[in-house]
Amino acid sequence: MEKYYGIPYSNDMMGVAYLRGNDVDSIKVNQKYITQTYTREAVRFIDQNRDKPFFLYITRFSTWRVARQRRCGRERHYVRRGQRVPTVACWPGKIKPGTVYDDLASHLDLYPTIIGLTGSQKSQTKKPLDGEDISPVLFGTGKRKGNEFAYYSNGIIEAYRKGDWKIRLPQKEVKQGNAVIVAAEDTLLFNLKTDLGEQNNLLKSNPAKARELLASLEVYKRQIGNTPPPLVQRMPSDDSHIRKRAERAAGKNAGK
């Protein structure tokens, strides 16, 4: 039986709540103690299931606070720090232990890879898949063929990378309330081979490379076509959350 406990979205959104399954467990979240709360729930789950096989997945809160990050960007920003994450793959007898692959891949590659590994046929669409089969990467027999990546936000391309070069398109500032969480910026050009932190804008010194990337981006967009609208799916947990917030608001109004 699957069980869930935690905050189902970003902790900086309004009305932060703990969910137990699909029901709100508490809307009084003291964020100083999230790690302790998750640990307590994890230990309780282990105690309840110690006599039978189980899988427990727990993510620690705010683990990035102790990391030594290069000073550039944050969440919702289109720099490597905000986008690139490590991936671990394990398949005894198939994937050689200790193998390291430094080039990029994408979560869009998972579907084509699974199709390739299982011998299945892609279904429901005759259109080309966005990703590619990266089983050669997993097995150490080759590299990912494609070397271009687009960085989207709500269906709009905000940055584009091809090989070691990356261009970030002009961006308006992003605000949360009165706070600016992403500053406005003009077009930026970086060579990621020599500038992982995206600190040195090469747009003025290498305009030809910028034009080359923009031309490649136009080809990429024509190949991809129009992106579909975002998928918004109402879940049972949403109903529980909305109901709890309404009850809390009614209680406050009754006390006035």
CATH number for the domain that contains residue 176: 3.30.1120.10
- In eight-state DSSP terms, residue 226 is S
Confidence of residue 50 (pLDDT cuts 50, 70, 90): very high
Residue 109, in any domain of the structure: no
234 pLDDT exceeds 70?
Answer: no
The answer on 83 and 18 residing in a single domain is: no
Q: In the structure encoding, which two tokens stand for residue 65, read together?
A: 């606070």
Highest mean predicted confidence (pLDDT) among 31-35, 81-85, 128-132? 31-35
Residue 80, in any domain of the structure: yes
The answer on 94 and 61 residing in a single domain is: no
Q: Which amino acid is at 104?
A: L
Residue 142, in any domain of the structure: no
Highest mean predicted confidence (pLDDT) among 14-23, 44-53, 145-154? 44-53
Average pLDDT over residues 46-71: 76
The answer on 245 and 154 residing in a single domain is: no
Q: Which domain holds residue 152?
A: 69-104+147-224
pLDDT at position 43 is 96
Closest listed residue to residue 190, CA positions, set 160, 216, 170, 158: 160
The answer on 54 and 170 residing in a single domain is: no
Residue 168, in any domain of the structure: yes
Q: What is the pLDDT of residues 91-120, one digit of tens each?
A: 999 999 999 988 889 888 998 998 888 887
The pTM of this model reads 0.67
Q: What is the pLDDT of residues 186-230, one digit of tens each?
A: 999 999 999 988 889 999 999 999 999 999 999 999 988 877 776
The answer on 168 and 55 residing in a single domain is: no
Buried-exposed string 35-58: b where 16+ CB fall within 10 A, e elsewhere: eebbeebeeeeeeeeeeeeeeeee
Average pLDDT over residues 142-155: 88
Closest listed residue to residue 111, CA positions, set 129, 128, 127, 138: 129
Q: What is the pLDDT of residues 9-26, one digit of tens each?
A: 877 777 788 989 888 898
The answer on 246 and 204 residing in a single domain is: no
The answer on 38 and 158 residing in a single domain is: no
Whole-angstrom distance between the N-terminal and C-terminal Cα of the chain? 44
The answer on 179 and 90 residing in a single domain is: yes
What is the tally of structural domains in the chain?
Answer: 2
CA distance 199 to 96: 36
The answer on 36 and 14 residing in a single domain is: yes
Closest listed residue to residue 83, CA positions, set 192, 241, 216: 192
The answer on 189 and 91 residing in a single domain is: yes
Residue 133, in any domain of the structure: no
pLDDT at position 77 is 61
Are 107 and 117 in contact by the 8 Å Cβ rule? The answer is no
159 pLDDT exceeds 90?
Answer: yes
CA distance 48 to 98: 35
The answer on 193 and 98 residing in a single domain is: yes
pLDDT at position 62 is 61
Rama region for 128: left / alpha / beta (φ>0; ψ in -120 to 50; rest): beta
178 vs 162, residue with greater confidence: 162
Residue 197, in any domain of the structure: yes
From residue 108, how far is each of 6, 39, 116, 207 by CA, in Å?
Answer: 27, 32, 14, 31
The answer on 19 and 53 residing in a single domain is: yes
pLDDT at position 215 is 98
Average pLDDT over residues 63-69: 53
66 pLDDT exceeds 60?
Answer: no
pLDDT at position 75 is 54
78 vs 163, residue with greater confidence: 163
Are 216 and 192 in contact by the 8 Å Cβ rule? The answer is no
Residue 113, in any domain of the structure: no
Average pLDDT over residues 154-183: 84
14, 15, 16, 20 alpha-carbon torsion, rounded to 10°: -150
